[in-house]
Amino acid sequence: MKSLSELAAIREQMKDKVAIRTGSGDIRVVVGMATCGISAGARPVLNTFVEEVAAANLTEKVMVTQTGCIGICQYEPVVEIFEDGKEKTTYVKMTPEKVKRVVEEHLKGQKPVSEYLIGNTKL
Amino acid sequence: MKDLSLYILDIAMNSVRAGAKHIAIRLEEQDVVLTLTIQDDGCGMTPEQVKRLFDPFYTTRKTRSVGLGVPFLQMLAQQTGGDVSISSKSDTEYADHGTLVTAVFHTDHIDFIPLGNLTETIVTLIQGSPNVDFIYCHSMSRGSVAMDTAQMRSILGEDIPLDNYEVLNFIKSYLQEQYQQL
Ligand SMILES: Nc1ncnc2c1ncn2[C@@H]1O[C@H](COP(=O)(O)OP(=O)(O)OP(=O)(O)O)[C@@H](O)[C@H]1O
Ligand SMILES: [Mg+2]
C-alpha cells in the first residue's frame, strides 16, 4: 500500500535536480477544459500530453496547462501550442492517439502535424 | 457527458475559475443514494446569480453565450430522481465567501451513469491547479478513499510543485490503490 512517506522519498530524489519546476516555458501546450472540452474528451487528451511529455523527457522544455473555453466548441477537444517567436498552432478534435503523434513530431521533431490543424479538419 | 467523474471535473473547474484556494469534493454513497458535494472558497455568487445559474443562457464567460455545466448536472440528477442545490456567498458581501454545490443521485435508477474514473478527475484537477488545496473523500458502505493535498504539500516542502510528474504519478497510484483495497 502506498503511503504518504513516499513523498519524502520523492523530495530527496529531487533535491539534486537543478530544474524541479516543470516547464521553463519554451513551449506551452494549452488544453481547453470547459464543459465543451470535457464532454468531447479533453481529460484523456490532457493526461496523455502530461504522460507523453514526461516519457519523451521534455518536462523541462514543455509546460502542459489547462484553460477554459477557447471559443470553438464544435472543434473540441482543442489544443493550442505556443512557442517563442512562432505563431500559435491550433490542433482540433484531438484524441490520445493524435497526442502521441503531436508529441513525437511537433514537440520533439519540431514539425507540426498538418492533418490535425484547424484549417485541415472537417467538422 | 458519459460518466459522473466528468461532471465532477466540470463542476470543480467552476470553483477553480472562481479563484478558490480550497476545494473539497465529497462523494457519499448510502444504499442507493449518492450525494456529491463540491465546496469552494472562491468568489461566490449573489442570490440573484445563483437563481440564474440553472438557466443555460447564464454565463460570465466571454467566449460563448451559454453556460452548460450546472444545467447538465441538474438534468442528470433530476433524471435519476434526485436534484441539485446551490448555496453561495458572494465576495461582494461576505468575507467567508464561497459556494457549495450539492447533487443527489439515485444510483439504482436506469438513467444513472457510471461513476467513471474518479482518480483521473482528481489528478487532472491537481495538474491544472497545483497551488489549490484539494480535499477528496469518497465514502461507501465498504470503506472510503481519501486524500488531502495540503498534507502532501507539507511533506513535499515548498520547492516541489504538486504538478511535478513524479508527484502526480504518486497521487494517481495512491488513490488507485485505495480503491483496489476496498
Ligand atoms: N463555484 C462557483 N463559484 C462562483 N461562480 C460560479 C461557480 N459555479 C458557477 N459559477 C458562475 O455561474 C456561471 C455558469 O456556470 P456553468 O458551469 O453553468 O457555465 P460556465 O462555467 O459559464 O460555462 P461551461 O461550464 O459551459 O464551460 C459561471 O460562468 C460562473 O459565473
Ligand atoms: Mg462550468
Measure the CA–CA gap between B79 and B73, rounded to whole angstroms: 10
Output the domain CATH number for residue B146. Answer: 3.30.565.10
Number of domains in chain A: 1
Number of domains in chain B: 1
| Secondary-structure percent of chain A, ordered helix, strand, coil, rounded to 5 | 45, 15, 40
Specify the pLDDT at position A24: 58
In a domain, A40, yes or no: yes
Measure the CA–CA gap between A71 and B9, rounded to whole angstroms: 19
In a domain, A2, yes or no: no
Mean pLDDT of A95-108: 97
In a domain, A33, yes or no: yes
Shortest Cα–Cα distance, B172 to chain A (Å): 10
In a domain, A92, yes or no: yes
Specify the pLDDT at position B177: 96
Q: Rounded to 5 degrees, what angle do the CA atoms A45, A57, A116 make?
A: 35
Output the domain CATH number for residue A94. Answer: 3.40.30.10
Specify the pLDDT at position B64: 66
Predicted confidence (pLDDT) per residue in B125-173, tens digit: 999 999 999 999 999 999 999 999 999 999 999 889 999 999 999 999 9
The three grid cell numbers given for residue A121, joined into one nine-digit string: 479538419
In a domain, A1, yes or no: no
Q: Domain span at residue B142? A: 4-180
B48 C-alpha to ligand 1 centroid (Å):
14
Specify the pLDDT at position B95: 97
Q: Domain span at residue A42? A: 20-120
Q: Is A8 helix (H, G, I), strand (E, B) or coil?
A: helix
pLDDT of A122 over the 70 cut: yes
pLDDT of A83 over the 90 cut: yes
In a domain, A109, yes or no: yes
Chain A residue numbers touching B170 (CB-CB < 8 A) = 2, 6-7, 10
pLDDT of B77 over the 70 cut: yes
Q: State chain A's mean pLDDT as an integer.
A: 91
Indicate the pairing of strand A27-32 with strand A62-67: parallel
Specify the pLDDT at position A21: 55
A113 close to B (CB below 8 A): no
In a domain, A11, yes or no: no
In a domain, A106, yes or no: yes
